[in-house]
Amino acid sequence: MASIHTDSAPVGNPQAAGIIYVQGVPTPETRLTLGGAISVSPMAIGTWAWGDPVWNYKPEMFDDIAATWDTLQAEHSGINFFDTAEVYGKGESENIIGRLLKKNRQEGKPLPIIATKFIPYPWKWSYPSSLLGALKGSIERLGVDVVDLYQIHGPIHLRSIEVVADALAEAVKLGLVKSVGVSNYSIDQMVRMHAALAKHGIQLATNQVEFSLLRRYPETSGMIAKCHELGVAVLAYSPLGMGRLTGKYTAENPPPSGRRFSNYPMTELTPLLAVIEKIAKEHDVPMSAVALNYTIAKGAIPLGGARNPDQARQNVKAFGWRLSDKEVEELDGVALIGDKGMFWQHG
């Protein structure tokens, strides 16, 4: 692992943020520090599919999710970090995690780190009350007293970044959250949020963006480098391209409709998938492990989805090895750059 690389100490003192990305081999024992406040594994489990109809969730699927949760702890996977949002399943994802946290308490098991998000719809005009009200709803659904990491889900708020930063700072001061982050912010937006929080003595912990072999834009735009400079960890959502990079889907068997991020026709991904498959065979790991290891090698924390124990075990196989520079270069040569969006994905 490596500490943050920076020639000077910008406002917010990024050195105090701790180690925010892995430089060596990621292992189950590796821990990173977000916002100088929470210690997390170098991979998280993204839980959008837990309770959301976009992923065809049905209540009878809860048992598989519970088994996934238990597998990650019973088999000492090293993963202690789960990411959700108030908007996932209109709160159902948080409800599910709340049930699982309650089960941990009853069984005397440690509680993992939980991140969730506030959706700042443009009509949410009153700050800090809009944010604090939503946060208290998340706290109730999760069944916790404090949220480990609270993130702004996207840069769609009409109020200024500074106003939103003041609301996040209020949540910290009230003891409702341990650390705060943003998602889908551009470099300029992230820098503004970092500076606004620093005036309250708070380190911006994270910027969560779509980053994968199907969207290298956060790297090629300089986002990842700027985040590291400021002590902001990069959380990579959809690191498996919503299933497209796992080997499960082909041109003849495409993903279900509705998986909108990196929604490329599978025929366009044939060269990339061939390289992923080759490297996976050389390391004796699933294709998904190669895609996840790639995001770690680039300085991000991937949020890999898992809806059953087998998917969880496949994700964990990204630990214990690291892509060589030559392999990263080979993958870069066939990966897609992607782009930003006008409304949601600014970063």
Q: Please list the active-site residues.
A: 88
DSSP-derived pairing of the beta strands 44-46 and 233-237: unpaired
Query: 9: which 2 tokens?
Result: 């100490």
CA dihedral 225, 230, 231, 234 (to 10 degrees): -40
Cis bond upstream, residue 265 (ω within 30): no
Instruction: Kindly state the greatest CA–CA separation across the chain.
Output: 54
According to DSSP, the residues that pair with 180 across neighbouring strands are 150, 204
Q: Who's near 278: CB < 8 A, 6+ residues apart?
A: none
User: Which residue, among 278, 340, 284, 345, has the nearest Cα to 314 in the 3D structure?
Assistant: 284
DSSP-derived pairing of the beta strands 32-34 and 38-40: antiparallel
Give CA–CA dist 314/310, Å, rounded: 6
Residue 248: strand, helix, or coil? coil
Query: 52: which 2 tokens?
Result: 């959301």
The residue to which tokens 């998917």 are assigned = 311
User: Which residue, among 144, 140, 150, has the nearest Cα to 178 in the 3D structure?
Assistant: 150
According to DSSP, the residues that pair with 2 across neighbouring strands are 21
Residue 211: strand, helix, or coil? coil
